[in-house]
Amino acid sequence: MMKQNKIRKCYRFVNKNLTSYQDKSTKWEIKKWNKVKEKLVPCKNGLHASLTPLQSLNNIYGDRWFVAESRGKKIKKKDDKFCASEMRLIKEIPLIVIKRFALFCAKDCLKYYKKRYPDDKRISNCIRDTELYLDDKISLKKLTSAWSAAESAAWSAAKSAAWSAAWSAAKSAAWSAE
């Protein structure tokens, strides 16, 4: 069990309507404390979050991402998640942050795909076009066509060792566009 009275910064996702994914009855209001009185049981009863933004990306249960605070009793579930008896949302993290992070991940994976398929530019073009779209320099229609080509490239690579890097790059880039 973690310290009880210390307020701790954390990160969590909630649904569009500010409810929790598992417990639809928990309604969140920004800066208002939610409390659980029953015994804390990780993944069953409690208010769940992660201590870092990166850890919270392993627990995407919702459409909106928030910086939050927890206090009261806490139980650590695993390295990337805990549950607490009290929690509040502090500030929403803009969707563009997630999109830019996905683009960064796609760029990082691209080197593995290029090593195996140096002449295939479909995924490189998709990543480039995703960045242009996020910078408002091309339309969604143009981006969608790049995404289709990148998805095709990923399926072509499915039987090779480069499949995982290609798929990750294509999906990360495509996810950024949503």
- pLDDT at position 161, please? 44
Bigger pLDDT: 169 or 161? 169
As a whole number, mean pLDDT of residues 87-116 equals: 92
Q: Which amino acid is at 45?
A: N
Which range is least confidently modeled, 61-65, 123-127, 135-139, 170-174? 170-174
pLDDT digits (tens, 9 = 90+) for 67-92: 999 999 988 877 789 999 999 999 99
Encode burial over 102-114: b for 16+ CB neighbours within 10 A, e otherwise.
Answer: bbebbbebbebbb
How does DSSP classify residue 15? -
Q: Positive or negative, the Cα torsion across 98, 102, 103, 107?
A: positive
Residues paired with residue 78 on neighbouring β-strands, in sequence order = 81
Bigger pLDDT: 151 or 56? 56
| pLDDT at residue 162 tops 80 | no
Model confidence band, residue 163 (pLDDT cutoffs 50, 70, 90):
very low
Residue 23's Cβ-count burial label (10 Å; 0-12, 13-18, 19+) is middle
Structure token digits, residue 51: 């201590």
Distance CA 178, CA 163 (A): 23
Model confidence band, residue 122 (pLDDT cutoffs 50, 70, 90):
confident
- pLDDT at position 131, please? 92
As a whole number, mean pLDDT of residues 79-107 equals: 92
As a whole number, mean pLDDT of residues 51-58 equals: 89
